[in-house]
Amino acid sequence: MQTGDRVWVTAEPNGYLTSRRPRTDRICGCWPRHAIGPFLSILKTEAPWQRYERIVLVHAVRRVADLGYRRLVDELLERRPGQLQFVPFVSRESTGFALTGRIPEAIADGRLEAHAGLRLSPDDSTVMICGNSGMIATRSRCWSSAGSGATGAASRVT
């Protein structure tokens, strides 16, 4: 793709990063660094709010300064109190508000579910995982061993 090339964008989403998932009560989206952007685009529409009773947005970064899209996340939290929960992870700094470490470990030891105040199970929860194929495989194994039955899809942009 070159600068100035035409891009065709359809009105209907498709592929793995859509809100067209099996019907569950809750959805938990786990996003590294700036990969949170596409999921936030979905959250700006009405579809997920009508489909899910509760949405847990998990955003993992290295440093607090990497928590992008804060203004949009705060707007969504204000518009959807009780329905949206934001769970930030910061792996290389200590904060008073974010979980420390990495998502797979927090899944395995139960910290993510404890912090979110819910039990994610395949009966009532959908888990969307974004990242490179190795990260998705690790997180999927953690969710599966924790009993969530989560699956994920990988994409790579170079």
Report pLDDT digits (tens) over 129-147.
Answer: 776 666 666 666 655 655 5
pLDDT at 20: 56
- pLDDT tens, position by position, 40-65: 888 999 988 888 889 899 898 999 99
Residue 90 lies in a domain: yes
Residue 6 lies in a domain: no
Contact 76, 69 (CB under 8 A): no
Q: Report pTM.
A: 0.73
Tokens of 26: 């809750």
How many domains would you assign to the chain? 1
Res. 90 pLDDT band, cuts 50 70 90: very high
Residue 9 lies in a domain: no
- The chain-wide mean pLDDT, for the chain, equals 76
- pLDDT tens, position by position, 94-139: 999 999 988 878 888 889 889 998 887 777 777 777 766 666 666 6
Tokens of 22: 């099996």
Contact 60, 33 (CB under 8 A): yes
Residue 131 lies in a domain: yes
CA distance 131 to 60: 11
Residue 153 lies in a domain: no
- pLDDT tens, position by position, 17-40: 555 555 667 777 777 777 788 888
CA distance 65 to 53: 30
pLDDT at 154: 35
Better-scored residue on pLDDT, 84 or 122: 84
CATH of the domain at 71: 3.40.50.80
Give the phi and the psi of residue 31 in degrees, each rounded to 5: -130, 130
Domain enclosing residue 107, as ranges? 26-145
